[in-house]
Structure 1
Amino acid sequence: MPTHFILQIETATQVCSVALSRDGTTIAFRDIDEPNVHASQLTLLVEALLREAGLTFADLSAIAVSKGPGSYTGLRIGVSAAKGLCYATDLPLIGVDTLAGMAAGFAAKHAEEIEPKAWLCPMVDARRMEVYTGMYDHRLKPLKSAAAIIIDTHSFSELPVGQRVLLFGNGADKFQELFAANERVAVIPHFRNSARYLSGCAYQALLDKQFEDVAYFEPYYLKDFVATTPKQR
């Protein structure tokens, strides 16, 4: 069976990240967790990562990108870059659900800490008390589709008796105090998106030949972009 290298791009949040995987396993990655660097740093990260791994685009089987939900600007930059690379190299494009990638990455990173059968709730910040989120069981089976939800003290009150849920992602950290007294909801802080978490999903999509139409593929914004006017000082 041939070896498959995939270049992966993650820009759905503040983190600008690229990774390389071989047959579903991450072999190298670079993350920059700083605001407003996607446009200036993404292609530089790609070039540096390939050079570091001793690979060229000719060695790749596909390019994968985190398709959302997430930041409108970040997603637009990441998807545009991925599409441009696919056009230039004639490589197939794979779109990976951002929340599914987060759930897979969290499950792998915290495998020894996750309590049996806990549900996983990745959260991408959508400002104020709103997040983009979904729900997955401990085997990463989707339980709830992605949605933009405003979180309050009554959120998760519909959980089955005895069920616990773990919140993580840049949208979850702000709810630590809100759920501090709730034994059924745990916030796992400081989890950040990374392209290295896309490896398993991207590889499975490659094996299944689930490729995007490069000409028509668009990010999954979930909400319409609303332009705002800067406040006057």
Structure 2
Amino acid sequence: MKILALDTAMNGCAVAVWDAGGDEAVSAVEPMLCGHAERLVPLAQNILTEAHLDFSDIDLIATTVGPGAFTGLRIGLSAARAMGLALDVPVVGVTTLDVLAASYLARHQDPHNLLVLIETKRSDFYGQLFSPAGDILSEPFALPAEQISALYLVDSIVLIGDASQRFLSLLLQEQKAGVVVRTGFEVPDPAHLARLAYRQYASGGYLTPPKPLYLREADISQSRKTQRKIAE
């Protein structure tokens, strides 16, 4: 089974193609703050060409469902759903938190719990706690640093994600003693996204179509022109 994985939920545009019968994936991750919509499909075509495949060879589409940037998240989901309909193949969604955790745990063996923290572009953080074996120890959350510290910094812990450094800077000196920050895991790895999606598909534990994981409302404000009309 050949899986095409797409991610635009955070500060990057990422694509991978992986054959479930093998170990190696062909993938690319391009850091970017905007322009995901224009870049995603051409990048997918490039990856398929590099793998000597075409869209018609794909059996499953994988995509991240959040949490992440509101606009970027919807770009990836919309593209995945459209491809799934066009190719008549299933689409499986995986959280960004799960993908980041899997990427880290595939490369490191730590005796401590893993806390994945993602930027919200506000004062709080998206996150989730995992065991050293990858078991889920908390539901995904959107919390301020004070609550995260009280709930999860009760023992030594490893931090990853694009918000880990900001979180560390907000801690008191004594709170930092048991905290280890690992860099290099700021954007989901599409190869691990493909593997996780395949496991969900094989187990039957997935939603069709995948739905976005929103941990709070999007930042939406009225324009001054609209406000004036309402006032009138």
Give the TM bin, normalised by the shorter chain.
0.7 to 0.9
The one-character-per-residue Cα deviations of 1:114-164 (angstroms, maximum 9, x if unpaired) are: 432x11111110024311101000111000000111114x64344586x31
Please, which of 205, 208, 220 is the counterpart of residue 213 of structure 2?
220
**Separation of aligned partners in 2, 1:168 and 1:230:** 37
- Do 1:20 and 1:28's aligned partners in 2 also have CA atoms closer than 8 Å? yes
Deviation at 1:175, TM superposition (A): 2.6
1:132 corresponding residue in structure 2: 126
In terms of Rg, which structure is larger? Answer: 2
**Separation of aligned partners in 1, 2:139 and 2:99:** 14
**Is 1:121 aligned to 2:115, yes or no?**
yes
2:167 corresponding residue in structure 1: 175
Structure 1 residues 22, 125: CA separation in 2 closer, same or farther (over 3 Å shift)?
A: same
1:208 corresponding residue in structure 2: 203
The one-character-per-residue Cα deviations of 1:6-61 (angstroms, maximum 9, x if unpaired) are: 10111111111111122274511111111102111001111111011001223222
**Separation of aligned partners in 2, 1:155 and 1:131:** 9
**5 Å matches for 1:1-233?**
4-23=1-20, 25-109=23-107, 111=108, 114-116=109-111, 118-152=112-146, 155-159=148-152, 163-179=155-171, 181=173, 182-193=176-187, 194-214=189-209, 217-228=210-221
SS of equivalent residue, structure 2 residue 195: helix
AA in 2 matched with 1:84: A
Comparing 203-212 with 31-40, which one deviates more in the overlay? Answer: 203-212
Comparing 181-190 with 65-74, which one deviates more in the overlay? Answer: 181-190
**Separation of aligned partners in 1, 2:47 and 2:127:** 30
Deviation at 1:178, TM superposition (A): 3.1
- Do 1:173 and 1:188's aligned partners in 2 also have CA atoms closer than 8 Å? no
SS of equivalent residue, structure 1 residue 88: helix
TM-score, length basis structure 1: 0.86
TM-score, length basis structure 2: 0.86
- List alignment gaps of at least 5 residues for structure 1: none
SS of equivalent residue, structure 1 residue 176: helix
- List alignment gaps of at least 5 residues for structure 2: 225-232
Deviation at 1:168, TM superposition (A): 1.0
Higher helix fraction (1 or 2): 2
**Separation of aligned partners in 2, 1:56 and 1:171:** 36
Deviation at 1:93, TM superposition (A): 0.6
- Do 2:4 and 2:194's aligned partners in 1 also have CA atoms closer than 8 Å? no
CA RMSD of aligned residues (A): 2.2
Structure 1 residues 122, 198: CA separation in 2 closer, same or farther (over 3 Å shift)?
A: same
**Separation of aligned partners in 1, 2:177 and 2:218:** 36
Deviation at 1:211, TM superposition (A): 4.1
Q: Percent of counterpart pairs with the same letter?
A: 28
